[in-house]
Amino acid sequence: MQNDLKYTVRSREIVDLVSALRTSRLTLSPYFQRNLVWRDAHKRDFIDTILKGYPFPQIFLSRGPINVETMDASQAVVDGQQRLNAIQEFVEGRLDVGDRKFKDLTPKEKEDFLKYEVAVIDFDLDAGDARLKDVFHRLNRTYYSLSAIEKLASEYSASEFLLVARTLSGEIKGESAVELDLEVGSEDDTFDTIEGNIFSRDPGVDEATWQWLVDRADGEFATLLQQNPIFTKFEFDRKVPLMFTLNIMCTLLAGYYNRNDRVRKFLEEKAEEFLEKDEVLTTLNETASFIRDMALPERAMWWNKANFFTLVCELSTQPVGLSPSQARNRLLDFQENIPQEYALAAREAVGRKGYRELRGMYVRGMLFN
């Protein structure tokens, strides 16, 4: 059996890990990682474990090549993201445990917390090593196991089709948004950034493509998803809006289909080059602007995922001959007297092709006739 994966087992103090996070030498959310999914209750319980001096399972890190000029090396969290994020939030004062924040601890308690030794397994893997994703997937098969979209997002992290979907769903931030996050990231001081941590972006994504995505981040479609009652915070944490956006993109290109059946196909076929990316981005952002201008009330049925999916898909297919206010009135009138077959298609098995087509037929009848 071939086994050339090199790793070391050692302990590192929390103060060392926090320092690495603050200076971006350690990337908490590398390109293959999931979003943060722990609730505050889980974070508080974990911090309490440290405060009591109890042990917790080891953290897995990956180290890239050493920069011989700076005598430093980029690192990424392979497993332990949720735990390190909880530590970071507690130290920065964004999390309290037993009504006490880190600043409220005694000097001795602060010292003990920062000197707590964490068991760390360091892999010697480059950012582009295929084994990095494999290890990540194997370590995440248990508690809070990866969802289907989290697996796809990791597997196809360099796919241009996925990257456009990430931009549309708000997962890729514009430069101004990133700068703002850095400014407000800590109560006491801001995070420094080390240019070029190799784990921040999939090495299969070139600089020009990444800049193209960043320049188009924070668009109308991403804003619409984030500012309206379509998805819960937990759904954002589990990348549900990303799968939703992928399905909309696939529908625009190929029409209605069953569930998520065409997502993997397009992720593969348009991994290297997504020729329609400008058209899809423009169309969905313009559609989002129209929906925004309709000013639908918060409790409108059209914020329901199935109805919103249909509304976006239909509005994206052809120009609407109505003003936003006219479209709004028709949608709200329809809501007052919903046909039974539409109600069923929006409530049960909503991802079935037949039900998607039926909802589309009704929406087209309202907006284009």
Q: Tens digits of per-residue pLDDT, 287-307?
A: 999 999 999 999 999 999 999
Q: What is the pLDDT of residue 145?
A: 59
Whole-angstrom Cα distance, residue 243 to residue 53?
Answer: 40
Checking DSSP bridges between strand 59-67 and strand 7-13, what pairing results, if any?
unpaired
Does the residue 212 lie in any domain?
A: no
Does the residue 99 lie in any domain?
A: yes
Q: Are 156 and 266 in contact (CB under 8 A)?
A: no
> Among positive and negative, which fits the CA dihedral 66, 71, 74, 80?
positive
Judged by DSSP in three states, 85 sits in helix
Whole-angstrom Cα distance, residue 244 to residue 260?
Answer: 9
Whole-angstrom Cα distance, residue 241 to residue 275?
Answer: 23
Residue 232 and residue 361 in one domain: yes
Neighbours of 29 (CB within 10 A): 15
Cα→Cα distances 5→56, 81, 132, 311, Å: 24, 21, 10, 50
Token pair recorded at residue 360: 């589309």
Q: How many domains does the chain have?
A: 2
Q: What is the pLDDT of residue 73?
A: 72
Q: What is the pLDDT of residue 183?
A: 44
Does the residue 170 lie in any domain?
A: no
Does the residue 205 lie in any domain?
A: no
Which domain covers residue 116, as residue numbers? 7-146
Does the residue 346 lie in any domain?
A: yes
Amino acid at 355: Y
Helices 277-294, 305-315: inter-axial angle, 10-degree rounding: 120
Whole-angstrom Cα distance, residue 193 to residue 106?
Answer: 30
Residue 254 and residue 134 in one domain: no
Helices 240-254, 148-155: inter-axial angle, 10-degree rounding: 70
Residue 250 and residue 121 in one domain: no
Does the residue 112 lie in any domain?
A: yes
Tally the C-alpha atoms within 13 A of residue 170's C-alpha that lie toward its C-beta.
17
In the block, tokens 């293959």 appear at 32
Q: What is the pLDDT of residue 115?
A: 95
DSSP calls for 320-354 = -SS-HHHHHHHHHHHHHT--HHHHHHTTSSTTSHH
> E strands of the chain, at which residues?
7-13, 26-27, 59-67, 72-79, 117-124
Q: What is the pLDDT of residue 65?
A: 66
| Statement: the pTM of the whole predicted model exceeds 0.75 | no
Q: Which of 260, 34, 236 is nearest to 144 (CA)?
A: 34
Neighbours of 105 (CB within 10 A): 16
Does the residue 183 lie in any domain?
A: no
Beta bridge partners of 123: 7, 62
Q: Are 246 and 194 in contact (CB under 8 A)?
A: no
Domain boundary among 92, 116, 146: 146
Q: What is the pLDDT of residue 185?
A: 43
Residue 13 and residue 127 in one domain: yes
Q: What is the DSSP letter of 187?
A: S
Largest interatomic CA distance in the chain: 73
Residue 128 and residue 229 in one domain: no
Q: Are 133 and 155 in contact (CB under 8 A)?
A: yes
Q: Which residues of the chain have pLDDT under 70?
A: 1-3, 65-68, 70-71, 127-128, 140-146, 175-200, 203
Q: What is the DSSP letter of 87?
A: H
Q: What is the pLDDT of residue 226?
A: 95
DSSP calls for 7-64 = EEEEEEEHHHHHHHHHTTSEESS-TT-------HHHHHHHHHHHHTT-----EEEEEE
Domain boundary among 109, 130, 146: 146
Domain boundary among 83, 118, 146: 146
Residue 25 and residue 142 in one domain: yes
Checking DSSP bridges between strand 59-67 and strand 72-79, what pairing results, if any?
antiparallel
Residue 140 and residue 227 in one domain: no
Residue 132 and residue 19 in one domain: yes
Does the residue 310 lie in any domain?
A: yes
